[in-house]
Amino acid sequence: MSQDELTFRAAYWPVLLLRALPALALAAFITFSSDHSPALGLVAFGIFAILSGLITAGLGARALRGPAARLRTNAIAQGALTVVAGVAALLARDGGVLVLLYVVSVWAVVTGFLELVAGLRSRGRVPGATDAITIGALTVVLAVAFLLVPPDLVVPYGGVEQREGQLTAPVVAVGLLGAYAAIVGVFLVIAALSMKWGTSTPAATSAADAPRTIESAS
């Protein structure tokens, strides 16, 4: 492992961990909220997107150095578009389910494609490229799922206790957003820790091999 790669890993794993925090917070908020209205979905997504976008465009772009320097422009574009989507969601928080489906699906298509392409282009050359491919693919899947939700969806159901209710488009959309955030958040934590531990492996190996090398020489 080259020194440039070690430097990149040491600088970038905290960015992955920070990116996980807004996603996990969004997942927890949606999970424990009884309100799955379009307004809540837009506000929750808006806050998540602004925080995530600032981390990606700011800290992420700054940490992209060495073999990953070529991805800096992509990270800035992805982060900026995410912030714009978050601001749009907050401004249109009273727009209803159509706005929720539109804003999230457009954001997911564009940013998911950007991250997916960046990962594919840097695979084999930049540490964490596979992680970018996975996150990009998950984001594109979210876009497809949102596009498949009928805005007028209303499905009556009865629970075990025979309590009647309805499964509506806002409930499905907000639930999908929460599931996506949970999966991506957990994945980012794993990716961050894997990259962090990868920075110490070569050093530890060298330290362990040093005595053997000296003994062999003597």
User: What pLDDT digit, counting tens, does each position of 135-178 carry?
Assistant: 999 999 999 999 999 998 888 776 555 566 778 999 999 999 99
Q: Is 158 exposed, middle or buried (0-12, 13-18, 19+ CB in 10 A)?
A: exposed
Q: How far apart are CA 204 and CA 43, in angstroms?
A: 46
Q: Which two tokens stand for residue 193?
A: 């820790």
pLDDT at 129 over 90: no
Count of structural domains within the chain: 1
- Tens of pLDDT, residues 26-41: 999 999 998 899 999 9
Residue 54's domain comprises 3-217
- What's the whole-number average pLDDT of the chain? 84
Among 188, 212, 163, which Cα is nearest to 25's?
188
Name the DSSP letter for residue 186: H
Q: Are 193 and 16 in contact (CB under 8 A)?
A: no
Burial of 85 (0-12, 13-18, 19+ CB in 10 A): buried
Please state, as a whole number, how many other Cβ atoms lie within 10 Å of the Cβ of residue 83: 20
Beta-ladder partners of 167: 155
CA–CA distance, 94 with 112 (Å, rounded to integer): 26
Matching residue, tokens 């020489």: 217
For 46-70, what is each residue's pLDDT tens digit?
Answer: 999 999 999 998 877 676 666 666 6
- Single-letter residue type at 149: V
